Amino acid sequence: MQDKYKIFIKKWIKRSAIFFSGLLLIWIVWANVGMKMRKSDKKTISEFQALHIPLQISEAGDANHAIHYLKTGSDSLPTLLFIHGSPGSWDAYEQYLKDAELRQKFRLISVDRPGFGYSLNGKAYHLQEQGELLYEVVKKENHGKPIHLIGHSIGGPVVMCMAQQQPQAYASLTILAGSISPYAEEKESWRYPMHYFPLRYLVPGVLRTSNDEIIYFKKDLYELDKNYDKLHMPITFIHGDKDPLVNVSNVKYGMDKMHHAQNLQQIIIPGANHFIPWEHYDLIKKHLLTLE
């Protein structure tokens, strides 16, 4: 009887090992090919056509560094250029692109940031590299009208980087819950094991890219900190005072750093969390409509 029990245990251990090894293999494969968090262009075109909204889907940059973006509205109007957070893709601002009142006053462009959506998906880039790559969109779509940058979360420092690199190119900056202060960032040492082999290959899809770029940008913020004197265009900070992901102290940091800007303002939303582009759409839209 005891021998039968030992045989049963050995078989159970072997089968369990095979089962969990199989699960691990499936997870690794899925983590490396799945979870891209992007909407197909075909589906997007169909949705916009159903609403009778003209839409262009384009790429800027060379074949090896193509940046995917969507554009709607007249080329005769000023531009709102939207930069999403991490992770994310252009459709973080889909509601804005579909807004008839905004389209009446602006041309609207929303990009897939480098590493996300259909823009070099799966590879993380430093802020300076992102700024250079995204400027390819600006150059391609330059139409002699004002271009206003809007960035949410990590899109905030990306917007700041773009403006530092080409300050003459932009009419204003709007920072939505932007993580721009290197001194407000938590160390988050838990991120580093997932940045290296073998654990990085267990992190699925865009979450791996997001983890990598957050590690980069925490250091890149110190470089941004040196060059804010280049920014003189109007700048608006919009932030929730209950944001658990990006501390509202980033606004004070920005106001202090950019006190020399032409028109500097802050809008603190009582009780709001990090997801203000969607949960406080009307407030943000009202601000955007004041831009010229």
Domain of 59, in residue numbers: 38-288
Question: For 101-136, what is each residue's pLDDT tens digit?
Answer: 999 999 999 999 999 999 998 899 999 999 999 999
| Best CA proximity match to 225, nearest among 134, 157, 131 | 157
User: Does residue 13 sit in the same domain as residue 158?
Assistant: no
User: Does residue 256 sit in the same domain as residue 213?
Assistant: yes
User: Does residue 89 sit in the same domain as residue 122?
Assistant: yes
Residue 235 pairs in a beta bridge with 173, 264
| Best CA proximity match to 59, nearest among 113, 4, 135, 137 | 137
Q: What is the mean pLDDT of the chain?
A: 90
| Best CA proximity match to 115, nearest among 21, 232, 247, 211 | 211
The CATH number assigned to the domain holding 218 equals 3.40.50.1820
User: Does residue 92 sit in the same domain as residue 221?
Assistant: yes
Q: Output the pLDDT for position 27.
A: 40
User: Does residue 268 sit in the same domain as residue 195?
Assistant: yes
User: Does residue 119 sit in the same domain as residue 85?
Assistant: yes
Q: Output the pLDDT for position 16.
A: 64
CA distance 274 to 276: 6
3-state secondary structure 214-238: HHHHHHHHHHHCCCHHHCCCCEEEE
Helix then strand count (H, E) for the chain reads: 10, 8
Q: Output the pLDDT for position 118.
A: 96
Distances (CA, A) of 27 to 36, 196, 198: 15, 17, 13
| Best CA proximity match to 216, nearest among 110, 118, 130, 116 | 130
Number of domains, the chain:
2
Q: Output the pLDDT for position 18.
A: 61
Question: For 242-264, what is each residue's pLDDT tens digit?
Answer: 999 999 999 999 999 999 888 99
User: Does residue 162 sit in the same domain as residue 267?
Assistant: yes
User: Does residue 16 sit in the same domain as residue 118?
Assistant: no
User: Does residue 55 sit in the same domain as residue 26?
Assistant: no
Q: Output the pLDDT for position 81.
A: 98
User: Does residue 28 sit in the same domain as residue 49?
Assistant: no
Side by side, the strands of the sheet bearing 79-83 are: 56-60, 67-72, 107-111, 79-83, 147-152, 172-176, 235-240, 264-269
Contact 56, 71 (CB under 8 A): yes
User: Does residue 9 sit in the same domain as residue 63?
Assistant: no
Parts of the chain with a pLDDT under 50: 23-31
User: Does residue 121 sit in the same domain as residue 69?
Assistant: yes
